[in-house]
Amino acid sequence: MLKFYYNAAPNPMKVALLLEELGLRYEPVPVDTRKGEQFSAEYLKVNPNGKVPAIVDGDVRVFDSNAILLYLADREQRFVPLAANSAARGDLLSWLMFIASGIGPFSGQSVHFRHAAPEPKEYALNRYDFEAHRHWKIIEDHLVTSPYMLGNDYSIVDMGFWGWARLLPYVLGTGDATWNTYPQIKRLLDEINARPAAQRAELLKTRHAFKTEVDDETKRFMFPQNERLKGK
């Protein structure tokens, strides 16, 4: 059976949503990143990048959330335009990579500098907050005339969007006021949240007691770069 290595963070949740939408049977394998399980020798064979999500599907291993979305959707021929040289496939690849290389990294760094980094952080927070807003505004503007990320059809791009959009008030530090600035994002988020597959995906995190504390052990695993600063 397909193995899905996960925790409840945005990138694994995108894949959880697709697995539920497809109705595939899968074995969820929790990876507690706050305990450093992403760096076990066994897991590094699955994902040499030491992050979740990853899947093992028979002989096929896929890591990186957007790669998994594309792999599974192509395999099942659902939630993607399939014709390789079509305009729709061009849009799919463009928006999927925009989420992978823009929305994800800038939102993630915005979270880090807003909620975890020590002072002084004004310069870094300003840069990542600015870029996070810039990327989300591009999606907001796009959704004014497009019901879904790829026009009229719900696709894996919406699932990639959903993983991060659920956390947008936290990412931007703007609470409920976030939705005054991003009403189209809220519209699509609410619509996806109402899907039974999204509700099942959200329940996944209740199946395992992930570590909740961010103690020194967690910081060593999650922010290994800080070791270089010790003794300076």
Ligand X SMILES: N[C@@H](CCC(=O)N[C@@H](CS)C(=O)NCC(=O)O)C(=O)O
Residue closer to ligand X (CB basis): 45 or 177 = 45
56 binds ligand X (CB under 6 A): no
129 binds ligand X (CB under 6 A): no
Instruction: Please answer whether residues 61 and 55 qualify as being in contact, where contact means their C-beta atoms are separated by less than 8 angstroms.
Output: yes
Instruction: Please answer whether residues 55 and 28 qualify as being in contact, where contact means their C-beta atoms are separated by less than 8 angstroms.
Output: no
10 binds ligand X (CB under 6 A): yes
Q: Which of 5, 33, 107, 168 touches ligand X by CB under 6 A? A: 33
178 binds ligand X (CB under 6 A): no
- Alpha carbon distances (Å) from 55 to 62, 64, 105, 125: 5, 9, 21, 33
52 binds ligand X (CB under 6 A): yes
Q: Number of residues interacting with ligand X: please give it, by CB under 6 A.
A: 14
Which of 168, 143, 140 has its CA nearest to residue 154?
143
65 binds ligand X (CB under 6 A): yes
Q: Which stretch binds ligand X (CB under 6 A): 64-72, 83-91, 120-128, 210-218?
A: 64-72
Min CB(19)–ligand X separation in Å: 14
Residues of span 88-107 touching ligand X by CB under 6 A? 104
Measured CA to CA, the distance from residue 180 to residue 182 in angstroms comes to 6
What would the two tokens of residue 30 be?
Answer: 């929790």
Q: What angle do CA 55, 57, 59 make, to 5 degrees?
A: 120
Residue closer to ligand X (CB basis): 57 or 191 = 57
Q: Which of 22, 124, 167, 222 touches ligand X by CB under 6 A? A: 222
17 binds ligand X (CB under 6 A): no
Instruction: Please answer whether residues 69 and 14 qualify as being in contact, where contact means their C-beta atoms are separated by less than 8 angstroms.
Output: yes
Min CB(174)–ligand X separation in Å: 21
> CA torsion angle for 172, 175, 177, 182 (degrees, to 10)?
40
Measured CA to CA, the distance from residue 188 to residue 145 in angstroms comes to 12
Residue closer to ligand X (CB basis): 9 or 198 = 9
Q: Which of 4, 5, 6, 11 touches ligand X by CB under 6 A? A: 11
Measured CA to CA, the distance from residue 182 to residue 162 in angstroms comes to 14
Min CB(51)–ligand X separation in Å: 3
Q: Which stretch binds ligand X (CB under 6 A): 8-16, 110-118, 140-148, 192-200?
A: 8-16
The SS3 assignment for 86 reads coil
Residues that bind ligand X (CB under 6 A): 9-11, 33, 38, 51-53, 64-66, 104, 221-222
